[in-house]
Amino acid sequence: MKGLLLSKQYYSEIGLPMLREQFKPFLNRMTIGLVGEGSDCFGFDDELSQDHDWGPGFSIWLDQNDYHLLGKELLTAYQNLPKSYMGYQRKETPEGRGRLGVHSTGEFYARYLGVPGIPRSIGEWHRIPEANLAAVTNGELFFNPELSFALIRDKLLDFYPEDIRIKKIVYDAAIMAQSGQYNLPRIMHRNEPVAKALACAEFVRHAISMVYLLNKRYRPYYKWMHRGILDLPALSETYESFTALCNPMTAPEALIDIVEMICQTVLHELQLQGLTSKNSSFLLDHCNVINGKIHDEKLRSIHIMDGGNTS
């Protein structure tokens, strides 16, 4: 049983009848679903996930005035719902307490984004951890009367403003070139195992980040970054390449070829998206070309190795 399906059925069979009975006049002022932290919200949960912060439950989001009006009463009613459903019971940890239940829309987004809605500036966008953006746009809305919660969510799902996406692409391409294409072969020639592991880790992190950027999807928490590639419409074939690159049984002489294979796959997608027309196999050679497509002068002028962080 996947947690998202379990929670949806729990809402439909247990939660909704209670809401219709006790809060019917306010029902169309609620957004209800499962969104946020946790593998179940991403659909990545398995049997191991069920030992903590997993099980039947859902969230209700209210606009600020309605939250002040009936938030406490609604939370009490929610907490009085049956704790078990279909043989499952939610095992809540102190760290996971409060993820589900009743929330103010503005306070929910402010918790993850630092602002109560859509970021308004480049600086605000860059201050948000990307995993937090993934957390507020995952899951499913079970009841959506298109209130402010869903309107903000829809705008966030449109992804970063294009200038910011391009700057992040430039940064990831530069680090991929530096760590994987340039430094890794030199480190291996010197037989430095720790430096080799660090270079591979740096390459993998930025290459996976690049895959998400090219799909216009927010990169989730590091534990799920690799798993999430399988659900992406483009470049999902890199999943196996990353697996091979991190497999200790992979022959050392094959690592450079795998790095180049990933880089060439990424380069092909960059060309398909019209971000570069150069043919060089070295990703660093493309960075200034891609960076030149940024319209915002201040963002464009930031060094390609700085990641465009203006905060």
Mark whether 15 and 94 lie in a shared domain. Answer: yes
- Residue 204 confidence (pLDDT): 98
Q: Which domain holds residue 140?
A: 3-157
pLDDT of 309: 59
Q: Residue 271: inside a domain, yes or no? A: yes
Distance CA 250, CA 252 (A): 6
Domain end residue (candidates: 105, 129, 157): 157
Task: Single out the residue in 120, 139, 157 at which a domain terminates.
Answer: 157
| Residue 88, number of CB atoms within 10 A of its CB | 17
Q: Taking Cα atoms as reference points, which of 5, 1, 4, 6 lies closest to residue 85?
A: 6
What is the gyration radius of the CA atoms in the chain, in angstroms?
A: 22
Distances (CA, A) of 105 to 59, 146, 154: 11, 13, 14
CA–CA gap between residue 38 and residue 270 (Å, rounded)? 32
173 and 301 share one domain: yes
Are residues 178 and 279 located together in one domain of the fold? yes
Helices (H), the chain: 3-10, 16-22, 39-42, 64-79, 105-113, 122-127, 130-136, 148-157, 162-176, 184-190, 193-215, 222-228, 238-246, 252-272, 284-291, 297-301
Residue 77 domain-assigned? yes
For residues 215 and 295, state if they share a domain: yes
- pLDDT for res 311: 42
Rounded to the nearest 10 degrees, the angle between the axes of helix 148-157 and helix 105-113 is: 30
Same domain, 253 and 267: yes
Structure tokens at 188: 């291996």
Q: Is residue 197 a contact partner of residue 149, using CB atoms and an 8 Å limit? A: no
SS3 content of the chain, % helix, strand, coil (to 5): 60, 5, 30
pLDDT at 16: 98
- Please check whether residues 180 and 138 belong to one and the same domain: no
Residue 52 has a pLDDT of 87
Note whether 161 and 126 are within 8 A (CB): no
pLDDT in tens, the chain (311 residues): 899 999 999 999 999 999 999 999 999 999 999 999 999 999 999 999 988 889 999 999 999 999 999 999 999 999 999 999 999 998 888 887 889 999 999 999 999 999 999 999 999 999 999 999 999 999 999 999 999 999 999 999 999 999 999 999 999 999 999 999 999 999 999 999 999 999 999 999 999 999 999 999 999 999 999 999 999 999 999 999 999 999 999 999 899 999 999 999 999 999 999 999 999 999 999 999 999 999 999 999 999 998 755 44
Q: Are residues 114 and 202 in the same domain?
A: no
105 is a domain residue: yes
The CATH number for 271's domain is 1.20.120
Total count of domains within the chain? 2
* Phi and psi at residue 201, to the nearest 5°: -65, -40
The CB-side HSE value for 24 (13 A sphere, CA atoms) comes to 3
Question: Do 140 and 10 share a structural domain?
Answer: yes
pTM exceeding the 0.75 threshold for the entire prediction: yes
Angle, CA 162 vertex, CA 157 and CA 165 arms, to 5°: 85
58 φ, ψ (degrees, to nearest 5): -160, 175
Q: What is the DSSP string of 46-69?
A: -GGGGGSS-SS--EEEE-HHHHHH
Cβ–Cβ under 8 Å, residues 157 and 149: no
Is residue 311 a part of any domain in this protein?
no
Whether residues 67 and 93 share a domain: the answer is yes
For residue 118, tell me if it sits in a domain: yes
Terminal C-alpha separation, the chain: 42
- Among residues 141, 157, 173, the one where a domain terminates is 157
CA gap 70, 311 in Å, rounded? 37
Q: Say if 288 falls within a structural domain.
A: yes
Scored b (16 or more CB within 10 A) or e, 152-169 reads bbeebeebbbebbbbbbb
Indicate whether 172 and 194 sit together in one domain.
Answer: yes
pLDDT in the model for residue 212: 98
Q: Find the helix or strand (DSSP H, E) in which 197 lies.
A: helix 193-215
pLDDT in the model for residue 282: 98
Which residue type is seen at 300? R
Residue at 125 is within a domain: yes
* Shared-domain flag, residues 139 and 227: no
- Whether residue 293 is contained in a domain is answered as yes
149 shares its domain with 10 = yes
Residue type at 260 in one-letter notation:
E
Query: What pLDDT, on the 0 to 100 scale, is given for residue 271?
Result: 98
